[in-house]
Structure 1
Amino acid sequence: MKTKQKRAERAKLIADARALTDAVKEGETMSAEKNAEFDKLMKKADELKAEIDRLELLDSAEIDLGETVQRRAGRENISTDEAKARIEDENKACNAYLRNGMGGVPEELLPLARKQFKAAQSGELGGAGGYLVPPSFDTRVIEAQLAYGPMLMPGLCFGFDTATGNPMNFVTDNDTSNEGTIIGENATVGQQDVTFGQVTIDGYTFSSKMVLVPNSLLQDSAVDLEGYLAKKFGERIGRAKNRYYTLGDGAKKPTGIVTASTQGKIAASATVIAPDEVIELEHSVDPAYRANARYMFHDDVLLHLRKKKDGQGRYLWQEGLKAGAPDTINNKPYVINQHMATHATGEKAMLYGDFQSYYIRRIGGVRVLRLVERFADSDQTAFLAFERGDGNLIDAGTHPVKHLVMA
């Protein structure tokens, strides 16, 4: 009910903003005052959209929590009560380590803590010590990453986990120009070779940098230390991942989606994106990829496009009115990515295509390192989080993601 009311409020704000642009006569431009009013209304609409998304994410998280317990029970052939108890013990052991180090872990939980501590030192994970956090803490870090890393949004790219960090090779082939034929009786079948390529996905280490926590906070049991650290680690690593998965140049780092994309359209202007250019970018992508395609751009580009109409006078931007329905540009969903450039001279301002062709690898889990002595003179303990991963576009020459570049 709460989301339904907020959707109605948002629809009213958008209708009021549209009324301002509809009132502008052909050949005229909107006044600065009306522009400011439009931006104010749309800002409120965006804030409501963020609230709606958070409420829906919370509902989804509660469902996922129940499913996690059930999956654990099925995997280990135990009851759901036993699975819940094991998860609670893992969380207690992790919390004790974070607050007091291994020496502060209760004796009955030491086997669990030692197991996680040993796992973090595994060469296969590229470990250099620390503590491999339990799944529940790991999930909280991932959830925090999602808020700051749109490339990590569930269902956008093809994400997968591996236990070890060895390089993985993905074979590609482009056979789109070849087709079968009809042969005559007793005729010899012709030969057509397929050209294969290869894309390698490696493992790079992302760091949260040091998070300093006052020792008085560690001693306060009322403070949700795990929640605080998970949020900090997730925000920092999420931003780093998103930057490299967007803009990375592939030189001892991930190859970002913008870097790997192919030119689809050059805008006529250095600062203005015309509605027809948006449509032409869409049609530069092979129809095979358009069924699951979407746009990606900076928020400034969205603001620019919101006032645009197509040749029939319809707005390119449309709000999603139903629960779970996304807002769209030219009837296609879009993703806001603040690491992309805006619509300025020579910049790749828009992407369009099937982002499932971009592979994101996550290796192992989050490792946490606790540094006690380094900041002892300031009565603080430092925490560091590490996570390994890589990303690249699997493109066999069919170019599943293309960009619009400004003149």
Structure 2
Amino acid sequence: MPVELKDIQDVAEELTSRFTEFKSANDSSMEATRAEVIRLTEKTDKLNAQLSELEALKKELDGLYKKQNRPGTVEGDAEYRKHFIDQWMRKNNAADIEAKAVNLGANQDGGFGVPEELDRQILELERELSPMRALCRNIQVSTDGYKRLVNLGGAGSGWVGETDARPETNTPKLAQIEAFMGEIYANPATTQKALDDVYFNVEQWIADEVAQEFVDREADAFLNGDGVGKPKGILAYAMDTAPDASREFGKLQRVISGKAGDFNADNLLSVIYRLKKAFRRNANWMMTGTTVEKVRKFKDADGNYMWRPGIEAGQPSLLLGYGIEENEDMPEVAADANAILFGDFMRGYSIVDRIGARMLRDPYTHKPFVHFYTTKRVGGMLVDSNAIKVLTLSKGA
């Protein structure tokens, strides 16, 4: 059934109604007797969980609505794609595509390059499924690596009159950064009987399965990967409490909460204003769902709740005016945990995909299942260490 805008609006209205009820229960618990506190706390926790469910449902409907209204994709090599899907994937008949294939591996292994259209379809699905891909810059390259120069400052400038001499400026300080690349794989399986079924959409099935497996493997790497045969994640980079002006390039600034395993509303404000104004324009929060449940109870000095549900279609819920991206691979609230990220992720971190996935058909290893072993190269790197801040739940020195 198609997703209509009305469906999203209905869920948004329910989300608003539940939030009003949640605020009332939470406010009452602060003024209640001990027995009432227990009862109201249970009610508040239940409503908080319902808010999370409704928020997730609205986000899912937003995604489906956007997907079904997306313009059609451009056809790639239609002939190669047809033979790849109908002959090789379904029937293991490689004769028709061997002459046309861009073979990315040894031919005796039976591996062929995935058609460009299918390759891009997998990437689009990954962006929809991955919190990191949703916020960070996604770059596609045709080589095994990716390097770029970043300006660390130092280029002189000044004011001159119309006819004044223009003195030479200072030499800018440049640094070369390189993406940490690795090979990722997925190995979805189906039966030959399913492949023989003309109503079985093989292309959509393989795109969904491969994208989901890639996302599951990438998720932790983009946050915690050590850069050895995989991307280097944001939280794997060195951190320092020094401000941007004096902190070493490539080190993230961490804000210490002042209490081991806990934080408060003032800590969130500190994180926001450690970030330069230019980065705050496109900034978002990133945290787990249980951390979101915690911040829903926070109020400002005037007693207003800091969390606001996203009412309009496509609008995320807001914390202090900034969108929240739930990411279950973020650390939970615990002593010394880097539990919250805030910043302009598009400016701060880049994900690099090498175009040209490779697929190997394996009908022998686990009969009667047919596996499609799919590999590609993907990497990640911190581009601007000033663009993202970290809240660390530590007592500090």
* Counterpart position of 2:122: 141
- Equivalent positions of 1:323-334 (< 5 A) are 323-334=313-324
AA paired with 1:405? T
Superposed CA deviations along residues 113-134 of structure 1, whole A, max 9, x for unmatched, are 753x4343399xxx97523333
Cα distance in 2 for partners of 1:188, 1:91 equals: 62
Change (3 A) 1:384 1:311: same
Change (3 A) 1:22 1:369: same
Change (3 A) 1:157 1:186: closer
Superposed CA deviations along residues 214-263 of structure 1, whole A, max 9, x for unmatched, are 33333333333333332221111112112111111223321212223613
The match for 2:371 among 382, 385, 388 is: 382
RMSD: 3.2
Q: Secondary structure at 1:102's aligned position in 2? A: coil
Q: How far has the Cα of 1:399 moved from its partner?
A: 1.3
The match for 1:239 among 193, 216, 224 is: 216
AA paired with 1:388? R
Q: Secondary structure at 1:254's aligned position in 2? A: coil
The match for 1:10 among 8, 15, 22 is: 15
AA paired with 1:149? S
Q: How far has the Cα of 1:406 moved from its partner?
A: 1.0
* Counterpart position of 2:242: none
The match for 1:402 among 380, 389, 394 is: 389
Superposed CA deviations along residues 151-195 of structure 1, whole A, max 9, x for unmatched, are 111xx2111211222x32211122279663679x99995863322
Change (3 A) 1:178 1:321: farther
Q: Secondary structure at 1:315's aligned position in 2? A: coil
- Equivalent positions of 1:3-402 (< 5 A) are 3-25=8-30, 31-66=37-72, 68-69=73-74, 72=75, 87=78, 90-91=81-82, 93-103=84-94, 110-111=96-97, 114-115=99-100, 117-121=101-105, 130-146=111-127, 148-153=129-134, 156-165=135-144, 167-175=145-153, 180=158, 189=167, 192-208=170-186, 210-260=187-237, 262-357=252-347, 358-375=349-366, 378-395=367-384, 399-402=386-389
Q: Secondary structure at 2:372's aligned position in 1? A: strand
Deviates more, 1:139-148 or 1:349-358: 139-148
Q: How far has the Cα of 1:400 moved from its partner?
A: 1.1
Query: What is the TM-score normalised by the length of structure 2?
Result: 0.83
8 Å Cα contact 2:288-2:330 kept in structure 1: yes
Cα distance in 2 for partners of 1:8, 1:88 equals: 48
8 Å Cα contact 1:258-1:351 kept in structure 2: no
8 Å Cα contact 1:140-1:231 kept in structure 2: no
AA paired with 2:10? Q
Cα distance in 2 for partners of 1:235, 1:187 equals: 60
Unaligned stretches of 5+ in structure 1?
73-82
More helix, by proportion: 1
Cα distance in 2 for partners of 1:281, 1:310 equals: 15
Superposed CA deviations along residues 332-356 of structure 1, whole A, max 9, x for unmatched, are 1121111110121111111111101
Query: What is the TM-score normalised by the length of structure 1?
Result: 0.81
Q: How far has the Cα of 1:59 moved from its partner?
A: 3.0
Change (3 A) 1:4 1:394: same
Deviates more, 1:316-325 or 1:170-179: 170-179
Q: Secondary structure at 1:338's aligned position in 2? A: coil
Cα distance in 2 for partners of 1:313, 1:278 equals: 16
* Counterpart position of 2:240: none
Q: How far has the Cα of 1:279 moved from its partner?
A: 0.5
Q: Percent identity?
A: 22
State the number of aligned residues: 373
8 Å Cα contact 2:155-2:171 kept in structure 1: no
Q: Secondary structure at 1:164's aligned position in 2? A: coil
Q: How far has the Cα of 1:96 moved from its partner?
A: 3.2
Cα distance in 2 for partners of 1:186, 1:226 equals: 66
